[in-house]
Structure 1
Amino acid sequence: MGTMTGLGESALSFSLLLSSLVLIAALGAAAFFLDYIRRIGCSHSIQRTAASDSFFEDPSSLAKVPCPSIFDPAEKYISLIIPAYNEEDRLPSALDETLNYLQHRSAAEKSFSYEVLIVDDGSRDHTSRVAFGYVKKYKIDNVRVLLLGKNHGKGEAIRKGMLHSRGELLLMLDADGATKLTDLEKLESQIQTFVKSARKADSSTDCSPRLSDFEIAVFGSRAHLEKQALATRKWYRNFLMKGFHLVVLLAAGPGIRDTQCGFKMFTRSAARKLFTNMRLKRWCFDVELVYLCKQLGIPMVEVAVNWTEIPGSKVKLTSIVHMLFELVLIRVGYGLGIWKVYS
């Protein structure tokens, strides 16, 4: 009997010890996680106030052109920001289509001016060499390359490009050319319609605000292609996609059906607020943009675009884990007030 009692007490002591260790480990992990989120916020605050010492290099003259700031007045009508990581094979066809369209339009419309900003996100291939070839051909006033030195992630590449652009309108698009470039006119049209309505509504001032002074974000969407995608994808990819959409809904709320399409347009004023607040650098920065639009009161419009799947996708099964982790960061960082939203 005494032996049984001793064993019971030993088991109870072991259970208490184990429970204490699990609790300590959980509290330690929570503290580490919260400190990690806090450090992201601190780093972000420093980046917001730091002056840029970056330069664009002119391969023709080897001159260094200072990077402009999103806080400067617009110098171009539109800026196209293209993040590129190991894209030496897919980039040329996308740039050929892009620059062909832009040149034809600038020749037809005197008020239309443009720049293409290619952000090399630490590529290990010859992406930068390909990009600088286009700078030589089209001149540095129209095509520029920003070298990040090491790989940070698509979100950070786009953020840096946005912060150093000169356009009244800023369009982000993928380096693979999956979205037909002429669809930018659909997004542009939505912004023009919004601005005309806003100008009519605000008749209290004699000075008409510039296009870049209005705040609006227009998201290209592939939601209308969802049925076709469901029919052609593997069942587990559809399952993961549906699950991801559910988690996105919980993290950012309703409003935008396709947050992940890489074809988005912003007015300069909207981009200034959004990209100086953005913290995520990789997979879910698109979701964070939707969340920030809601927090900052920036109107959002979703527009259907033509999209073709291009071979060479960098999204892997393990990417889903990273995406879910970043969605948790959004909810905890902003939800607990660790990340501040600056207006």
Structure 2
Amino acid sequence: MSRPVEVSVVLPAYNEEATIEETVRVTLDSLAAFLPPDSFEVLVAEDGCDDRTPDIADRLAREDDRVRHFHSDTRLGRGGALDRAFAAADGETLVYFDTDLATDMSHLEHLVESVRSGEYDVATGSRWMPGQRVDRPAKRGVPSRGFNVLVRLFLRSDLRDHQCGFKAFSREAFEILRDEVEDEHWFWDTEMLVRAQRHGLRVEEFPVEWEPKGDTKVDLVRDVFGMGSQILRTWWQLSVSPRITTPVTVVAGLLLSVVALGLMTVYIDVDAVLGALRSADPALVGLAAAVYVLSWPLRGLRYRDILRELDYEGSVGFLTGAVFISQTGNLVFPARAGDAVRAYVVKARRAVPYPTGFASLAVERVFDLLTITVLAGSVLVGLAVTGGVGELAAAVSGNVPGVEAAAIRTAVQVAVGVGAVALVAVGAIVVSARSDSNLVRAAVSRLSSDSYADYVAGVIEQFVGGVQTVAGDRGAFARVGVSSVVIWTLDVITAMIVLRAFAAGAALSLPLLLTVGFFAVSVGNLAKVLPLSPGGIGLYEAAFTAFVVILTPPGLGPEVAFAAGILDHAVKNVVTVIGGVLSMLGLNVSLTQAVEESSEAEGVEAKLPDDD
């Protein structure tokens, strides 16, 4: 009777036709030197190869029953291939090492027995411990040391080398960790080690002799976008997210708003602002709120058109409620958590998958940026025709009495930058949508030849795919574009009615009010896209105040302009919160539950039934 398998060695393989047969032979011989016969197996985790590796692995499995071949038609990623093979392995001690055999195989017995003996739960070789012998060129060593320093610093790891491809896990440790590890590519083993330490598992790191095989280079997509983003993601999950409770987020949002308003009062007379607020005509403020209410059904209509292009349906009433709830979430929680709330709501109530929900949000954001950029640009052209550009130049240079110069320059610079990016992005997306070639993947491939580039390209494609779908249909593009213009026009009209509610604003002519409104509101909204002031708040007020003062007669000073900006936001926020609360009651949605549920959006595939 054959002995039960105790040790399973997994060899992750991608296009290894030149080396895989020799690697399997060396692995079998090395294991046989210290383990009983038939107590081990070798699994070739072949990851969507497009060379002869699958055929070779099949032949090796037929010739030796200690060899098993796990084939995948699609790329799973290095971590995904390892996870799949380990889950199917028979051994209680799970081992893997890179197929180039860069680590000296004389260390294999130590690696296996450290875990097999029960002394450790996890074991890993290290190229950066005292006693190791490594001939590592600078182009490999410098990035490796930098990566490990960042992991130790941000993720509080005690290990020196997290990515040496020479590791072993007990079956119990693997089962504890596998559901928590999210990365499926090069960061997989680093995340396994970090989370093992957080669980208090016994982890051994021992020095190994290591010799680089083949050439390498710092890869922009894998090393910067891939590994860097995964360090930040894991740090957030382990160190930040557990501390961000609902009370903390609400209090933080309130404090940031107070701080932002406090900073503005450094440059403007507070008593004058309060006096201006008390003098505002309540009837006109009420009219402004009514006008702003009119924009919300249009937001629901626009969102319906976007989802329809993505092959999902929803009534205007329901989708208006979903937008209300998400915008209320953005007011209450930092980091635009309300956007994820909307994706949760349309998934839970209309079975819209999370990827489609986030893609529809991307479409909406792009059209918003494009619309306010075009509106601001149109007014700028009008000012150029009428000779008003000199006044704008005075604003950029900071020559506006009562308004801090650096705030103006920062607001204008950010607005110009965001507007330019919006125009370029929309242009690129439209061109890509009308092209037969895959421009996104082609662009990413120019930056990287690593397999991680496929993953990054897929994420980018998912993000812009919805925009491309809408942009590729002229009718849909026109409908969404027109509704965006109307929505933002109502936003501007709301601000101008609020401005006219003040005594100084009442004397302004309608053409002048519209000119001021379109430019000040557009530039203000573009300015606040990037959080360059505390909490991302304050740049709107700075831009709005500056351009209202510049483009109106001297009688309307910075105090009145600032008061109008505050009241404008107050009116819009009150309407948003009231609509959000009513929508939550009508749709039976808890905002805090939605935030918690939407935080687990990634990787969720199930579709919930329509229960409306």
CA deviation after TM superposition for structure 1 residue 194, in Å: 5.0
Counterpart residue number, 2:228: 324
> In 2, are the aligned partners of 1:75 and 1:168 still within 8 Å (CA)?
no
Q: TM-score, with normalisation over the residues of structure 1?
A: 0.63
1:263 to 162, 166, 179: 166
Instruction: Using the TM superposition, name which of 121-130 and 327-336 deviates more.
Output: 327-336
| Matching of residue 137 in structure 1 with residue 63 in structure 2 | yes
Q: Secondary structure at the match of 2:185?
A: coil
Give the residue type in structure 2 aligned to 1:245.
N
For residues 92 and 34 of structure 2, the distance between their equivalents in structure 1, rounded to whole angstroms, comes to 16
| Matching of residue 86 in structure 1 with residue 15 in structure 2 | yes
Say if 1:251 and 1:123 are closer, same or farther in 2 by CA, change over 3 A: farther
Counterpart residue number, 2:29: 100
Deviations 1:253-295 (A, max 9, x none): 1311000011101111111112232210112112211221122
| Matching of residue 279 in structure 1 with residue 182 in structure 2 | yes
> In 2, are the aligned partners of 1:146 and 1:161 still within 8 Å (CA)?
yes
Moved over 6 A (4+): none
Structure with bigger RCO (C-alpha 8 Å, 6+ apart): 1
Say if 1:240 and 1:272 are closer, same or farther in 2 by CA, change over 3 A: same
For residues 154 and 124 of structure 1, the distance between their equivalents in structure 2, rounded to whole angstroms, comes to 15
| Matching of residue 233 in structure 1 with residue 152 in structure 2 | no
Say if 1:314 and 1:148 are closer, same or farther in 2 by CA, change over 3 A: farther
| Matching of residue 126 in structure 1 with residue 52 in structure 2 | yes
For residues 181 and 239 of structure 1, the distance between their equivalents in structure 2, rounded to whole angstroms, comes to 25
| Matching of residue 247 in structure 1 with residue 150 in structure 2 | yes
For residues 26 and 100 of structure 2, the distance between their equivalents in structure 1, rounded to whole angstroms, comes to 11
2:192 to 267, 289, 292: 289
* Counterparts of residues 161-172 of structure 1 (less than 5 Å): 161-172=85-96
In structure 2, runs of 5+ residues without a counterpart are 243-598, 601-612
Give the residue type in structure 2 aligned to 1:128.
P
Counterpart residue number, 1:52: none
Instruction: Using the TM superposition, name which of 248-257 and 184-193 deviates more.
Output: 184-193
CA deviation after TM superposition for structure 1 residue 315, in Å: 6.4
1:155 to 64, 79, 82: 79
CA deviation after TM superposition for structure 1 residue 241, in Å: 3.1
Q: TM-score, with normalisation over the residues of structure 2?
A: 0.37
For residues 93 and 214 of structure 2, the distance between their equivalents in structure 1, rounded to whole angstroms, comes to 29
> In 2, are the aligned partners of 1:252 and 1:290 still within 8 Å (CA)?
no
For residues 163 and 59 of structure 2, the distance between their equivalents in structure 1, rounded to whole angstroms, comes to 30
| Matching of residue 300 in structure 1 with residue 203 in structure 2 | yes
> In 2, are the aligned partners of 1:171 and 1:266 still within 8 Å (CA)?
yes
* Bigger radius of gyration: 2
CA deviation after TM superposition for structure 1 residue 239, in Å: 4.1
Give the residue type in structure 2 aligned to 1:323.
M
For residues 180 and 90 of structure 1, the distance between their equivalents in structure 2, rounded to whole angstroms, comes to 16
Say if 1:168 and 1:241 are closer, same or farther in 2 by CA, change over 3 A: closer
For residues 145 and 179 of structure 2, the distance between their equivalents in structure 1, rounded to whole angstroms, comes to 31
For residues 24 and 216 of structure 2, the distance between their equivalents in structure 1, rounded to whole angstroms, comes to 18
* Counterparts of residues 179-198 of structure 1 (less than 5 Å): 179-191=103-115, 195=119
Give the residue type in structure 2 aligned to 1:308.
E
> In 2, are the aligned partners of 1:79 and 1:169 still within 8 Å (CA)?
yes
For residues 53 and 26 of structure 2, the distance between their equivalents in structure 1, rounded to whole angstroms, comes to 17
Give the residue type in structure 1 aligned to 2:124.
F
For residues 296 and 99 of structure 1, the distance between their equivalents in structure 2, rounded to whole angstroms, comes to 33
Counterpart residue number, 2:237: 333
In structure 1, runs of 5+ residues without a counterpart are 1-73, 196-214
* Counterparts of residues 39-50 of structure 1 (less than 5 Å): none
| Matching of residue 219 in structure 1 with residue 124 in structure 2 | yes
> In 1, are the aligned partners of 2:93 and 2:115 still within 8 Å (CA)?
no
Give the residue type in structure 1 aligned to 2:163.
Q
Say if 1:318 and 1:134 are closer, same or farther in 2 by CA, change over 3 A: same
Q: Secondary structure at the match of 2:106?
A: helix
> In 2, are the aligned partners of 1:94 and 1:177 still within 8 Å (CA)?
yes
Counterpart residue number, 2:352: none
Q: Secondary structure at the match of 1:167?
A: coil
Say if 1:182 and 1:328 are closer, same or farther in 2 by CA, change over 3 A: same
CA deviation after TM superposition for structure 1 residue 153, in Å: 1.2
> In 1, are the aligned partners of 2:135 and 2:212 still within 8 Å (CA)?
no
Say if 1:228 and 1:101 are closer, same or farther in 2 by CA, change over 3 A: closer
For residues 331 and 174 of structure 1, the distance between their equivalents in structure 2, rounded to whole angstroms, comes to 27
Deviations 1:61-82 (A, max 9, x none): xxxxxxxxxxxxx941100011
For residues 95 and 189 of structure 1, the distance between their equivalents in structure 2, rounded to whole angstroms, comes to 20
For residues 138 and 275 of structure 1, the distance between their equivalents in structure 2, rounded to whole angstroms, comes to 29
| Matching of residue 310 in structure 1 with residue 213 in structure 2 | yes
Q: Which has the higher helix share?
A: 2
Q: How many residues align?
A: 240
Counterpart residue number, 2:397: none
Give the residue type in structure 2 aligned to 1:240.
P
Give the residue type in structure 1 aligned to 2:12.
P
Instruction: Using the TM superposition, name which of 238-247 and 173-182 deviates more.
Output: 238-247
Give the residue type in structure 2 aligned to 1:144.
R
CA deviation after TM superposition for structure 1 residue 101, in Å: 2.5
For residues 241 and 307 of structure 1, the distance between their equivalents in structure 2, rounded to whole angstroms, comes to 14
Instruction: Using the TM superposition, name which of 79-88 and 318-327 deviates more.
Output: 318-327
Q: Secondary structure at the match of 2:100?
A: coil
CA deviation after TM superposition for structure 1 residue 222, in Å: 1.2
For residues 226 and 233 of structure 1, the distance between their equivalents in structure 2, rounded to whole angstroms, comes to 17
RMSD: 2.7
Give the residue type in structure 2 aligned to 1:331.
W
For residues 116 and 186 of structure 2, the distance between their equivalents in structure 1, rounded to whole angstroms, comes to 30
Say if 1:249 and 1:307 are closer, same or farther in 2 by CA, change over 3 A: same
Counterpart residue number, 2:304: none
> In 1, are the aligned partners of 2:132 and 2:208 still within 8 Å (CA)?
no
